[in-house]
């Protein structure tokens, strides 16, 4: 019996130790926001079920978002400008895009309901809406007069709606794609950039300008694997070359002649006249390359312009011209993307969540950012009214018009020469595309790095695409 | 396991003065029970759940279509070849990381096993990689060292090129040598670990034996071969065992540095299961893959445990 | 390299110099080599710290700008993003799980070494074998179970899991250390009729204390650094510092300097703890094997 009572002593010793450590840990930091599981140190964890119930109060919402600069800004502004006015506490979790997608999918699909608001992209919005994972926002939209839903750009609304036509995510900021070029280098070479260049012209310029100064590449293009990295620009090239991933009745076209021609063109262009390390270049690397003056042209997101024109980040600010996305067979070819606020079905604080969304996507927030942080940092590209603000016009003089037009021109329902089965310019709006696009992009990226050929990559891609298409053919 | 259990007892446990009766046996077991029960609950309950899920057809993107799949998931796992490729990658990754880290660690341990000025500082600097958070180290290698346009590796070559007047090549470390890139970062991280174990081994070596050997005219190499190495054997085994246990589970580095690519060149088992779960959303298939891997691991581990058994056996000799 | 050649030359002509000089020269060569190795291994860490003190533009240049102006902006930004709750969560998860591991492992190790149960080897193997199973296979069921228990986003969940992850290694280490306790004292204590707690406290603890510290340190390191479960089982309340760290990766802008700052900051507690106790770490990692 001695042993048993001694054993109990050990347990109580552990409990005591745990309690002390807990108090020490908590008093050490003393952040009021961390109301975690304080004071619940009565027992060792295995038998402890009660502490999980210390849920945030009714006026606290949890927001999961990507770590993009615009989200960082809102995190900084929320407490002073949102919580102070509404009394709603907002807790943020920031994760990189891939992890965020994994987390949200799992959270919503298993009905865990850990988040009240999440940032999602134009790719997820229609899919998740049709899965019944997101709250229909159209009712809130209609009631909230201050929000002014009619001000939202139509292509944005289209790409964030479900197949029932209702809006399921409120845009935070949007973008299309365009071609950026160095005015000084073009002058030096005696070249002139048309307002609507073709890809053939761009290839000629790239050949001419490659190495015009030491270390300057003719063009900078993404090559980093990922459906949202390499395949964002590449799919727009495929579109305008007349290719597509799938026909309207779900026939895979990945090894089709147009798809192949476009991919070969892209790979050759970046291999011959592209930047160093192209196969590992995503948006960030390209921004860095271009901003440091190491490329004469760059085809990428319109949202890049704000950084390119920021002298703190860019050595080419003021020297850059902006023209529409290069084309071949189509009239326009820019992509369409938005980061948007959505409310999972599982949220229990929908009213507070909408209040936050309405604030974050509203006109007043744009003005707030403009005045507090500078007009170049406004989360733009979603509202027609943004382009009418004089301060914004001044700050974004070089690119605001073309950005707005490019977004308006983008047609998520018919981006190529043939009808499409889903909504989306630079992606196919089916869940399998994330896996499919990423796998094919890995092989195309390998071709950019000089390992393997485009034919091989696309032959493999066709097989995988065909397997996906089978699920959708009736 | 059986082999060990049936082995005849070597010597009586030190404190056993009389044959234990029933009550005595339970008194001995009691202190063990909390740990045992805790571990059984926390590890075996999830495993049983995994087995259960592995027989279902469950893709979370198709809610409401969950059903019994029989052995279907296992058929998929064995036929589509991705698991096989991942197994090979895991083997290559683990073996090369552990071996290279062990060799470098041995060298460093021998360098540190002499007294010289600043030895404490050198050891402090050398163990730093082991103490840096693995996620931080993976991000550091990917973005700060390997990045082709602004990483330190290419940057240093470029700087050297500018000084010495040659055009430095732009090496795309991650896409041209993905496995090496991952292994290098892991070796960096695990070498200090190996070094510490082997250093403890070297420091436990009696100096008299070494001195006696050198008096007898044995050269450095011979002393190392015939005295140090046999003495270190146990520590080497320990280092390999512990290293393998942790390196075989590598997730952070693969997830961060290569995302398993290009293609599936660096997709190891943990990452492959992760992909099935979070990119394909096939929970049933992921669970089946998990069960297969667990069974495979048990088979491999039985061999590994032989090493442990030698570790446990030797202790009674002294 | 020069030093090595000189040393070798010294050995070729032993008669020309007293043998001690040759030995000392060779010793110096080894010392230089040790310093070079230390520099190589530490370089990435040094680069991380240096980058964290640069502005974003200076952090991503080629060739690298070593002498760019230093700034604490990145660290200011970290605290602007409120790193404190993450550090507190990490501290709670790792300290509490470490204490719990020790609380479970020490008595268990006692039952496996000093007063061993029958078939203690098999028990030992069971514990170790759980460490070899791929943790990733457990992620899905654990997520589902934790969700069912309503314990998602709760530090205690991490405490329980980290305890289970570290228990086998801790048990093994503790067992090795308890073996070193002199038998005579134990027997004397037994004769005096001391109970388990008295024995542990007054006889075992003083001898095994360095081992306990080493074991605790190892558990602390592995819990502090764990990412996979932390990112999947927590949301806004219980997220730990590795989760904070990955939040700095963005596809839309430069982030290297702030990432390095975050990496430095979240690694710091373990670095300090490890450096401060490195002698015990050496002993701990050898699992007290053979003296």
* In CATH, B86-281 is 1.10.3720.10: yes
Q: Which pLDDT score, from 0 to 100, does residue B265 have?
A: 86
Q: Tell if the CB–CB gap between B172 and A132 is shorter than 8 Å.
A: no
Angle formed at CA B71 by CA B68 and CA B72, multiple of 5 degrees: 75
Looking at the fold, whether C83 and C41 belong to one and the same domain comes out as no
Q: What is the model's pLDDT at position C265?
A: 93
Q: Are residues C222 and C159 in the same domain?
A: yes
Smallest Cβ distance to C41: which of B25, B149, B188?
Answer: B188
Interface contact flag, B118 C35, Cβ < 8 Å: yes
Q: Are residues C177 and C236 in the same domain?
A: yes
C6 & C123 share domain: no
Chains touching chain B at 3 or more Cβ pairs under 8 angstroms? A, C
Instruction: Inform me whether the C-beta atom of residue B214 falls under 8 Å from chain C C-beta atoms.
Output: no
Q: Report the CATH superfamily, name and number, of domain A177-336+408-470.
A: Periplasmic binding protein-like II (3.40.190.10)
Nearest alpha-carbon partner for B185 in C226, C59, C41: C41
A82 closest CA partner among A133, A117, A107: A117
- The partner residues of A342 in beta bridges, in order of sequence, read A118, A169
CATH of the domain at C134: 1.10.3720.10
CA dihedral A416, A420, A422, A425 (to 10 degrees): 0
Task: Confirm if C249 and B138 have CB atoms less than 8 A apart.
Answer: no
Pairs of CB atoms within 8 A across A/B: 81
Task: Answer whether B148 sits within 8 Å of A445, measured CB to CB.
Answer: no
> Cα–Cα distance between A97 and B35 in angstroms, integer?
39
Q: Cα(C93)–Cα(C90) distance, rounded to whole angstroms?
A: 5
* Option in B4, B29, B196 nearest C121 (CB): B4
Phi/psi for A368 (5° steps) reads -60, -45
- Tell me which chain C residues have a C-beta less than 8 angstroms from the C-beta of A6: 195-198
How far C10 CA lies from chain B's nearest CA (Å)? 16
Chain B residues with CB inside 8 Å of C129's CB?
A: 298, 301, 305
Of chain A residues 294-313, which have a CB less than 8 A from chain B? 294
Residues A232, A310 contacting (CB under 8 angstroms)? no
Is a pLDDT exceeding 70 seen at residue B145? yes
- Location of structure tokens 């021998």: B110
Q: What is the predicted pLDDT for the residue at A177?
A: 96
Which residues, in sequence order, are CB contacts of B170 under 8 Å at separation 6+?
Answer: A276, A277, B148, B149, B154
Verify that C124 and C212 share a domain, yes or no.
yes
B270 at C interface, C-beta within 8 A: yes
Please tell me if residue B84 touches chain A, with a CB cutoff of 8 Å: no
The answer to whether residues C220 and C265 belong to one domain is: yes
Return the domain boundaries, chain B: 42-79+287-318, 86-281
Q: Which of A45, A283, A288 has its CB closest to that of C251?
A: A283
Say whether B175 and A280 touch across the interface (CB within 8 A).
yes
State the average pLDDT over residues C74-92: 90
The residue of B9, B39, B148, B277 whose CB has the most chain C CBs within 10 angstroms, and thus the best one to mutate to test that interface, is B39
Instruction: For residue B211, count other CB atoms closer than 10 A to its CB.
Output: 11
C272 Cβ contact list (under 8 Å, min separation 6): none
Residue with tokens 């490659």: A210
Residue A93 to residue C100, Cβ atoms within 8 A: no
Cα separations in angstroms, A327 against A244, A315, A379: 15, 29, 27
- Partner A contacted by B59 (CB < 8 A): no
Residues C14 and C85 reside in one and the same domain: no
Cα distances from C10 to residues B114, B219, C24, C26, in angstroms, run: 20, 16, 10, 9
Q: Subunits that touch chain A (at least 3 Cβ pairs < 8 angstroms)?
A: B, C
- Structural domain includes residue C188: yes
Q: How confident is the model at residue C8 (pLDDT cuts 50, 70, 90)?
A: very low
Least Cα separation, residue B122 to chain C (angstroms): 6
pLDDT of residue A404: 93
Beta-sheet pairing, A89-95 with A60-66: parallel
Domain co-membership, C158 together with C256: yes
Q: What confidence tier does B311 reach under pLDDT thresholds 50, 70, 90?
A: low
Instruction: Decide: residue A59, CB within 10 A, 0-12 exposed, 13-18 middle, 19+ buried.
Output: middle
Task: Indicate the number of domains in chain C.
Answer: 2
At residue A432, the pLDDT reads 85
With contacts defined as CB-CB under 8 Å, which chain B residues touch C281? 127, 196
Q: Record the pTM.
A: 0.82
Cα separations (Å) of C219 from B217, B280, C170, C224, C226? 45, 34, 7, 8, 11
pLDDT at C173: 85
What's the rounded Cα separation, in Å, for the pair C266 and C49? 12
Using the Cβ of B230 and the Cβ atoms of chain C, whether some distance falls under 8 Å is answered with no
Of A363-367, A381-385, C50-54, C80-84, least confident by mean pLDDT is C80-84
- Is residue C28 domain-shared with residue C149, that is, in the same domain? no
Question: How high does pLDDT run on average in chain C?
Answer: 83
User: Is the Cβ of C207 closer than 8 Å to some Cβ of chain B?
Assistant: no
Section C44-65 average pLDDT: 87
- B152: which 2 tokens? 């330190």
- CB contact at 8 A, B142 and B182: no
Alpha helix (H) residue ranges in B30-177: 33-54, 72-79, 82-112, 119-131, 134-139, 152-164, 173-176
Q: Which residues of C touch A287 (CB under 8 A)?
A: 253-254
Same domain for C39 and C143: no
CA distance B125 to chain A (A): 29
User: Which DSSP letter does residue C70 get?
Assistant: P
Secondary structure letter of residue B225 according to DSSP:
I
| Token pair belonging to B22 | 């029933």
Question: What are the backbone dihedrals phi and psi of residue A343, each rounded to the nearest 5 degrees, phi first?
Answer: -115, 115
Strand, coil or helix: A339: strand
Co-location of C46 and C138 in the same domain:
no
What is the predicted pLDDT for the residue at A116?
92
More confident: C217 or A27: C217
Q: Where in chain A is the domain with CATH 3.40.190.10?
A: 60-175+337-395, 177-336+408-470
**Chain B contact present for C254, CB below 8 A:** no
Residue-level pLDDT at C12:
41
B-chain CB neighbours of C227 within 8 Å are 134-135, 251-252
Categorize the per-residue pLDDT at C20 as very low, low, confident or very high, splitting at 50, 70 and 90: low
Within A292-396, residue ranges assigned H as helices are: 304-308, 350-360, 363-373, 390-395
Is residue C85 within 8 Å of residue A34, measured between CB atoms?
A: yes
Instruction: Compute the distance between CA of residue C203 and CA of residue C186 in angstroms, rounded to an integer.
Output: 7
Q: Exposed (0-12), middle (13-18) or buried (19+): which is C1, by Cβ within 10 Å?
A: exposed
Interface pTM (ipTM) of the complex? 0.85
CA distance C213 to C280: 7
Among candidates A102, A294, A442 on the partner chain, residue whose Cβ is nearest the Cβ of B261: A442
Domain of C38? Answer: 2-52
Structure tokens at A117: 């608001």
Q: Is residue A66 within 8 Å of residue A339, measured between CB atoms?
A: yes
- Tell me the three state secondary structure of residue B189: helix
Predicted local distance difference test score (pLDDT) of residue A173: 94
Residue C86 lies in a domain: yes
Name the residue facing A277 among B63, B149, B280 (closest C-beta): B149
Give the nearest partner residue to B145 out of C33, C44, C164, using CB atoms: C44
Which CATH number fits the domain A60-175+337-395, given the four candidates 3.10.20.30, 3.20.20.370, 2.60.40.3080, 3.40.190.10? 3.40.190.10
Can you give the pLDDT at residue A6? 40
Question: Is residue B284 a contact partner of residue C144, using CB atoms and an 8 Å limit?
Answer: no
pLDDT averaged per 10 residues, chain A (length 474): 39 42 40 34 34 51 90 91 93 86 82 89 91 91 90 94 94 95 95 96 96 93 90 96 95 95 97 89 87 94 90 88 95 94 90 95 94 90 93 91 94 91 92 87 89 92 93 84
Tell me the three state secondary structure of residue B169: coil
Q: Which chains touch C (3 or more CB pairs under 8 A)?
A: A, B
Asked whether residue C9 carries a pLDDT value surpassing 70, the answer given is no
Domain-embedded: residue C63: no
Question: Which pLDDT score, from 0 to 100, does residue A442 have?
Answer: 84
Position C288 confidence tier, pLDDT thresholds 50, 70, 90:
low
**According to the model, what pLDDT value does residue A36 have?**
35
Phi, psi of C246 (to 5 degrees): -70, -20
* A104, A224, B59, C193, C256 from B64: Cα distances, Å: 19, 36, 9, 64, 43
B-chain CB neighbours of C27 within 8 Å are 114, 116
Question: Residues with Cβ < 8 Å from B57, sequence gap 6 or more?
Answer: B65, B66, B67, B68, B69, B72, B73, B284
Beta strands in A318-451 (DSSP E): 320-324, 337-342
Residue C289 pLDDT > 70: no
Instruction: Kindly report the nearest CA distance between residue C187 and chain B, in angstroms.
Output: 7
Query: Rg of the Cα trace of chain C?
Result: 25
The distance of A360 to chain B (nearest Cα, Å) reads 29
Burial C56-65 (b: 16+ CB within 10 A, else e): bbbbbebbbb
Cβ distance A275 to B261 less than 8 Å, yes or no, reads no
Interchain contact C161–B (C-beta under 8 A) = yes
Chain B environment of A442 (Cβ under 8 Å): 261-263
The pLDDT of residue C13 is above 80: no
| Chain A residues with beta carbon closer than 8 angstroms to that of C89 | 34, 36
Query: Which of A21-35, B156-170, C76-90 has the highest average model confidence (pLDDT)?
Result: C76-90
Cβ pair A443:B41 closer than 8 A: no
Q: What does the alpha-carbon distance between residue A440 and residue A458 come to, in Å, rounded to a whole number?
A: 7
Length of chain C in terms of residues written? 291
Which two tokens mark C129? Answer: 């074998």
Which residue from C88, C195, C249 is facing A31, i.e. has the nearest CB? Answer: C88
- Shortest CA gap C94–chain B (Å): 13
Q: What is the mean pLDDT of residues B189-203?
A: 90
Contacts of A276 in chain B (CB under 8 A): 148-149, 170
What would the mean pLDDT of C234-249 be, rounded to a whole number? 89
Cβ distance of B147 and A446 shorter than 8 Å: no
How many C-alpha atoms does A402 have within 13 Å on its Cβ side?
A: 22
Inform me whether the C-beta atom of residue B251 falls under 8 Å from chain C C-beta atoms. yes
The Cα of C153 is separated from the nearest Cα of chain B by a number of Å equal to 18
Q: Which of A132-141, A260-269, B34-43, B162-171 has the highest mean pLDDT?
A: A260-269
Q: Give the residue-averaged pLDDT of B281-295.
A: 89
Q: How far apart are CA A119 and CA A121, in angstroms?
A: 7
Tell me how close the Cα of B98 comes to any Cα of chain A, in angstroms.
28
B-C CB pairs within 8 A amount to 313
Choose the most confident range, by mean pLDDT, from A24-28, C47-51, C72-76. Answer: C47-51
Which backbone phi and psi does A324 adopt, to 5 degrees? -65, 160
């Amino acid at each position: 019996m001695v042993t048993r009572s001694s054993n109990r002593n050990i347990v109580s010793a552990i409990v005591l130790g745990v309690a002390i450590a807990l108090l020490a840990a908590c008093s050490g930091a003393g952040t009021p926001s961390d109301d975690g599981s304080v004071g619940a140190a009565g027992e060792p964890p295995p038998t402890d079920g009660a502490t999980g119930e210390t849920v945030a109060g009714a006026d606290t919402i949890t927001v999961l978002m990507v770590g993009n600069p615009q989200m960082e800004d809102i995190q900084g502004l929320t407490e002073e400008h949102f919580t102070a006015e509404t009394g709603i506490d907002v807790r943020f979790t920031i994760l990189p895009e891939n992890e965020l997608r994994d987390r949200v999918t799992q959270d919503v699909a298993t009905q865990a309901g850990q988040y009240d608001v999440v940032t999602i992209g134009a790719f997820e919005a229609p899919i998740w809406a049709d899965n019944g994972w997101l709250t229909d926002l159209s009712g809130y939209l209609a009631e909230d007069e201050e929000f002014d839903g009619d001000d939202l750009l139509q292509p944005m609304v289209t790409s964030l709606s479900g197949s029932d036509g209702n809006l399921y995510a409120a845009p935070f900021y949007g973008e299309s794609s365009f071609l950026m070029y160095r005015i000084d280098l073009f002058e030096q070479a005696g070249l002139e950039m048309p307002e609507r260049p073709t890809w053939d012209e761009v290839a000629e310029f790239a050949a001419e300008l490659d190495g015009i100064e030491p270390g300057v590449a003719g063009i900078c293009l993404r090559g980093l694997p990922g459906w949202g990295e390499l395949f964002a620009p590449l799919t727009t090239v495929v579109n305008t070359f007349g290719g597509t991933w799938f026909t309207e009745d779900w026939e895979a076209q990945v090894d089709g002649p147009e798809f192949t021609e476009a991919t070969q063109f892209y790979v050759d262009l970046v291999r011959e006249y592209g930047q160093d390390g192209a196969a590992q270049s995503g948006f960030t690397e390209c921004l860095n390359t271009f901003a440091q003056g190491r490329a004469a042209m760059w085809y990428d997101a319109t949202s890049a312009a704000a950084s390119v024109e920021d002298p703190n980040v860019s050595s080419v600010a003021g020297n850059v011209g902006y023209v529409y996305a290069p084309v071949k067979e189509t009239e326009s070819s820019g992509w369409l993307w938005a980061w948007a606020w959505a409310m999972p079905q599982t949220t229990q604080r929908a009213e507070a969540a909408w209040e936050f969304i309405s604030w974050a996507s509203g006109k007043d927030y744009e003005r707030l950012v403009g005045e507090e942080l500078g007009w170049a940092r406004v989360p733009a590209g979603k509202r027609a009214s943004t382009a009418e603000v004089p301060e914004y016009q001044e700050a974004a003089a070089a690119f605001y018009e073309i950005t707005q037009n490019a977004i308006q021109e983008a047609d998520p329902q018919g981006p190529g020469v043939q009808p499409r089965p889903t909504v989306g310019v630079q992606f196919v709006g089916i869940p399998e595309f994330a896996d499919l696009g990423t796998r094919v992009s890995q092989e195309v990226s390998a071709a950019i790095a000089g390992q393997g050929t485009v034919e091989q990559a696309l032959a493999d891609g066709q097989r995988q695409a065909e397997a996906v298409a089978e699920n959708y053919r009736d | 396991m059986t082999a060990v259990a049936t082995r005849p007892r070597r010597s009586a446990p030190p404190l056993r003065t009389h044959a234990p009766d029933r009550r005595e046996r339970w008194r001995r077991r009691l202190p063990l029970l909390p740990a045992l029960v805790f571990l059984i609950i926390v590890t075996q309950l999830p495993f049983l759940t995994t087995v259960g899920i592995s027989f279902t057809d469950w893709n979370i993107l198709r809610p409401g279509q969950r059903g019994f799949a029989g052995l279907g998931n296992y058929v998929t796992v064995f036929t589509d070849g991705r698991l096989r490729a991942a197994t090979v990658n895991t083997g290559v990754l683990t073996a090369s990381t552990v071996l290279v880290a062990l060799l470098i660690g041995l060298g460093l341990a021998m360098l540190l096993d002499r007294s010289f000025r600043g030895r404490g500082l050198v050891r402090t600097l050398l163990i730093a990689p082991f103490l840096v958070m693995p996620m931080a180290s993976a991000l550091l290698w990917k973005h700060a060292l390997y990045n082709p346009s602004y990483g330190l590796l290419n940057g240093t070559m470029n700087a050297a090129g500018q000084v010495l007047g040659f055009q430095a090549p732009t090496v795309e470390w991650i896409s041209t040598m993905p496995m090496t890139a991952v292994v290098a970062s892991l070796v960096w991280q695990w070498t200090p670990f190996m070094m510490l174990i082997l250093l403890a081994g070297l420091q436990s070596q009696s100096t008299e034996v070494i001195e006696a050997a050198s008096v007898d005219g044995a050269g450095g190499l011979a002393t190392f071969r015939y005295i140090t190495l046999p003495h270190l054997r146990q520590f080497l085994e320990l280092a390999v065992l512990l290293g393998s246990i942790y390196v075989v589970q590598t997730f952070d580095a693969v997830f961060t540095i290569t995302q398993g690519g290009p293609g599936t060149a660096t997709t190891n088992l943990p990452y492959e299961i992760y992909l099935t779960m979070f990119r394909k959303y096939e929970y049933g298939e992921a669970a089946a893959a998990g069960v297969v891997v667990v069974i495979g691991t048990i088979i491999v581990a039985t061999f590994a445990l032989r090493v442990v058994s030698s570790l446990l056996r030797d202790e009674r000799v002294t | 390299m020069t030093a090595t050649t000189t040393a070798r030359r010294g050995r070729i002509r032993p008669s020309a110099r007293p043998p001690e000089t040759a030995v000392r020269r060779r010793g110096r060569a080894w010392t230089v080599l040790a310093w070079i190795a230390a520099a190589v291994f530490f370089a990435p860490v040094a680069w991380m710290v240096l980058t964290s003190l640069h502005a974003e533009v200076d952090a991503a240049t080629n060739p690298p700008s070593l002498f760019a102006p230093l700034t604490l902006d990145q660290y200011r930004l970290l605290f602007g993003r409120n790193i404190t709750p993450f550090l507190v969560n990490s501290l709670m998860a790792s300290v509490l799980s470490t204490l719990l591991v020790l609380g479970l492992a020490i008595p268990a190790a006692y039952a496996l070494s000093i007063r061993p149960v029958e078939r203690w080897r098999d028990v030992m193997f069971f514990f170790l074998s759980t460490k070899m199973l791929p943790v990733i296979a457990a992620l899905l069921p654990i997520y589902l179970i934790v969700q069912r228990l309503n314990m998602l986003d709760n530090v205690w969940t991490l405490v329980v899991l980290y305890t289970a992850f570290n228990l086998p290694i801790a048990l093994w280490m503790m067992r090795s250390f308890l073996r070193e306790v002199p038998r005579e004292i134990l027997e004397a204590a037994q004769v005096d009729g001391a109970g388990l707690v008295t024995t542990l406290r007054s006889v075992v603890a003083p001898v095994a204390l360095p081992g306990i510290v080493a074991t605790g340190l190892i558990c602390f390191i592995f819990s502090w650094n764990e990412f996979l479960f932390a990112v999947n089982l927590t949301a806004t309340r219980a997220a730990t510092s590795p989760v904070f760290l990955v939040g700095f990766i963005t596809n839309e802008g430069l982030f290297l300097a702030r990432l390095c700052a975050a990496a430095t900051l979240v690694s710091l507690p373990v670095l300090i703890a490890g450096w401060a106790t490195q002698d015990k770490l050496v002993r701990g990692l050898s699992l007290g094997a053979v003296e």
